[in-house]
């Protein structure tokens, strides 16, 4: 566990150290666009069974690495494992996304919520991390992750996915103390959870703030960023002599990158609506940047994918500190050959950025 992975491009890039080429991994790289994933998922019987069975989670985590020369594995899991462990009645209806049977809407609901112990209630994730590390055999680093407290809270309060975030904004504007109590509990739970992932072998971490971008700038700082900052501050940042980099990603947060860099995170995820050149100027070399190809490009012909990969690399420009990725997760309808084209284009075009 003490030796760095054979391929340490991702870890080096996240720490803004020189690399021979830009590392690449893909959000949701272990997912429905892969036939082998769909086969394992069918065998598991349900999405939740897949998440809660370490052997199966390990199997699907490794699948994309068998197909593509990616520079990282990302733990196969879900941002809603914490609500699952809190016992709110999480289920995933096919084609409808997550559903929470007992949503959290009052101060009493919040007070009754437990903070799950990662070593017991979330043991399936921690075991998956250990197992994946063992199976990876040090080839590439393993990324752990969690949802941001704000993002997880949106599901808990809305009872599932949302478009307008009516109920949680009702709390935010009408009963902010209740929302803060919920976010505080989620931040505690998330910190324990991520530190347990690190202890089990996660070599870098990412916090997914999928819904921070629906807030006003002031509300973002108060209800999302402040809790991410608290998590960053409490994380085990070094393990077995190696720095454990942490990536923050707020979808739609392009205007707030400077403040996000101020949290002490090592790297920021950037969605496709912000140019990496602008993001780099805004953050002035204080953090690495991860992104940001429009996921829709993966539906275009391989020649277009190659051009667009080139545009993203050129937008970041020369020098270290860039991790190639999409600006959001790969969608189920994408042809795996197009993902292969993306990875090949990064391998072919990016060495020129590092001379």
> Catalytic residue numbers?
28, 32, 41, 78, 155
Is residue 106 part of the contact set for a copy of itself (CB under 8 A)? no
Q: Give min distance, CB of 168 to a copy of itself, in A.
A: 9
Total of residues contacting a copy of itself (CB under 8 A): 34
Those residues with Cβ within 8 angstroms of residue 59's Cβ, 6 or more apart along the chain or in another chain: 40
Query: What is the closest distance, in whole angstroms, from the C-beta atom of residue 209 to a copy of itself in the complex?
Result: 13
Distance from C-alpha of 317 to C-alpha of 353, rounded to nearest angstrom: 7
Q: Does residue 95 bind a copy of itself (CB under 8 A)? A: no
Rounded to the nearest whole angstrom, what is the least distance from the CB of residue 277 to a copy of itself in the complex? 9
Closest by CA position to 159, among listed 97, 111, 208: 97
In the structure encoding, which two tokens stand for residue 339, read together? 């993902």
Is the distance from CB of 270 to CB of 327 less than 8 angstroms?
yes
97 touching a copy of itself, by CB under 8 A: no
Helices in 202-270 by DSSP H: which ranges?
217-219, 226-234, 257-261
Pick 314 or 344: Cβ nearer a copy of itself: 314
Q: How far is it, in rounded angstroms, from Cα 126 to Cα 148?
A: 18
CB atoms within 10 A of CB 203: 28
Shortest distance, position 58 Cβ to a copy of itself, whole Å: 30
Q: Interface mask (CB under 8 A) for a copy of itself, residues 16-55, using x and -?
A: ----------------------------------------
The reply to whether 177 sits near a copy of itself by the rule CB under 8 A is no
Look up residue 110 and give its DSSP letter: H
Q: Which of 138, 213, 310, 336 binds a copy of itself (CB under 8 A)?
A: 213
CA distances to 152, 154, 173, 180, 352 from 168, rounded to whole Å, are 11, 6, 9, 11, 47
Going from the C-alpha of 219 to that of each of 105, 176, 213, 267, 297, the distances in angstroms are 19, 10, 10, 22, 32
Chain positions 300 to 339 lying near a copy of itself, rule: CB under 8 A, are 300-301, 304, 308, 311, 331, 333
Which of 14, 215, 246, 247 binds a copy of itself (CB under 8 A)? It is 215
The single residue among 17, 46, 106, 216 that binds a copy of itself, judged by CB under 8 A, is: 216
E-strand stretches of 81-152: 90-93, 97-100, 142-147
Using CB under 8 A as the binding rule, whether residue 252 contacts a copy of itself is answered as yes
Q: Which residues bind a copy of itself (CB under 8 A)?
A: 164-166, 169-170, 172-174, 213-219, 252, 254-255, 272-275, 278, 294, 296-297, 299-301, 304, 308, 311, 331, 333
């Amino acid at each position: 566990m003490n030796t760095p992975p054979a391929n340490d491009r991702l870890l080096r890039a996240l720490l803004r150290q020189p690399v021979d080429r830009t590392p690449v991994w893909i959000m949701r790289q272990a997912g429905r666009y892969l036939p082998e994933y769909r086969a394992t998922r069918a065998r598991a019987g349900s999405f939740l069974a897949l998440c809660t069975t370490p052997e199966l989670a390990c199997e699907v985590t490794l699948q994309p690495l068998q197909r593509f020369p990616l520079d990282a594995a990302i733990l196969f899991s879900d941002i809603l494992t914490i609500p699952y462990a809190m016992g709110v009645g999480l289920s995933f209806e096919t084609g409808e996304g997550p559903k929470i049977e007992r949503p959290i809407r009052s101060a009493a609901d919040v007070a009754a919520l437990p903070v799950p112990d990662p070593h017991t209630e979330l043991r399936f994730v921690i075991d998956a991390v250990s197992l994946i590390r063992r199976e990876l055999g040090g080839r590439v680093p393993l990324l752990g992750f969690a949802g941001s407290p704000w993002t997880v809270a949106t599901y808990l309060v809305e009872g599932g996915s949302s478009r307008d975030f009516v109920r949680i904004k009702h709390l935010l504007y009408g009963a902010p103390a209740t929302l803060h109590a919920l976010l505080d509990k989620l931040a505690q739970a998330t910190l324990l959870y991520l530190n347990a992932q690190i202890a089990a072998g996660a070599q870098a971490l990412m916090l997914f703030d999928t819904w921070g971008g629906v807030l006003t700038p002031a509300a973002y700082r108060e209800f999302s960023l402040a809790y991410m900052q608290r998590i960053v501050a409490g994380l085990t940042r070094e393990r077995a002599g190696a720095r454990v980099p942490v990536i923050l990603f707020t979808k739609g947060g392009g205007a707030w990158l400077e403040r996000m860099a101020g949290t002490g995170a090592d790297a920021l995820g950037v969605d496709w609506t912000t140019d990496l050149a602008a993001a780099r100027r805004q953050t002035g070399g204080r953090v690495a940047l991860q992104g940001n190809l429009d996921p829709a490009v993966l539906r275009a012909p391989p020649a277009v994918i190659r051009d667009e990969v080139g545009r993203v690399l050129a937008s970041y420009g020369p020098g270290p500190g860039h991790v190639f990725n999409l600006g959001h997760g790969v969608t189920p309808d994408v042809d795996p050959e197009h993902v292969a084209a993306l990875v090949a284009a990064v391998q072919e075009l990016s060495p020129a950025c590092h001379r």
